[in-house]
Amino acid sequence: MPLRNYLAAIAIFCNEVKGKSALALSRDLDVQYKTAFVLAHKLREAMASEMKGMQLGGDGETVEVDGGYFGGYIKPANHKDMRRDRRFAKNQNGKRQVVVVIRERGGSTLPAVFKSESAALGFIASRVAKGTHVMADEAPSWNDLQARFALSRIDHQALYSDTRGVYTNGAEEFFSRMRRAEIGHHHHIAGAYLVRYAQEGAWREDHRRMANGRQAQTVIGLAMASRPSVDWCGYWQRHTI
């Protein structure tokens, strides 16, 4: 593609608030869907390069921790008596994964993908600095964090925030935007690609107050500094290897 197509793709990609679907990008650039699909994921990969080795919090700082499940949607059966409650493990298809987000108040957002919230404890311990005050909800998955950090809990069945400043509204805000991106733009995000969508959502969340031109310039810089993608370089030619 000509260079101006790449620059146009970055400008269009950054101009969206909650994400840009590959189909819409292919129409805007007048290229094949496959081309737009790989290009969009390479841009997400470039955005994620800002998060390598990132550590949040520190003495006197506060981070919020929460998890949200995405992917693996199963269309409900037509007849009511054939429908199943998908909240039970026996009725799930095993494709749903949890996006665990660490969000520093007044700072950065760092997501990762796991099979369960409890599997993220090592990730949280390695990415949150000592001396950080951690906020979490009442999910038992976070109980072990109190051995490492000063931990405050909020019971969402009773209230969303209390007068002591205990809440996870920042993490919930991230999940709200990501769910709107899943439902309104992409319609399906799952599997190996889920972490890239989460990282894109985190980048957008952290740069949402930046002017569109500066966002585009930042992504151009990240893309120029990136090495050839391990996941996407030659992706559509792998059948010939």
Question: Cα(168)–Cα(21) distance, rounded to whole angstroms?
Answer: 29
1.10.3470, 3.30.420, 1.10.10, 1.25.40: which CATH number matches 62-181?
A: 3.30.420
Q: Is 169 exposed, middle or buried (0-12, 13-18, 19+ CB in 10 A)?
A: middle
pTM: predicted TM-score of the whole model, two decimal places = 0.89
Tell me the pLDDT tens digit for each residue of 192-225: 889 999 999 999 999 999 999 999 999 999 999 9
Tell me the pLDDT tens digit for each residue of 104-133: 999 999 999 999 999 999 999 999 999 999
How far, in Å, are 34, 106, 130, 200, 207 from residue 184 at the CA level? 20, 28, 38, 16, 21
Q: How many CB atoms lie within 10 A of CB 184?
A: 11
Question: Cα(169)–Cα(160) distance, rounded to whole angstroms?
Answer: 8
Question: Cα(164)–Cα(193) distance, rounded to whole angstroms?
Answer: 38
Residue 102: both structure tokens together = 């660490």
Please report where in the chains the tokens 């054939």 appear, as a residue: 82
pLDDT level of residue 241 (50, 70, 90 thresholds):
very low
Q: Residue 86 has what pLDDT?
A: 65
Domain coordinates in residue numbering, the chain: 3-51+209-240, 62-181
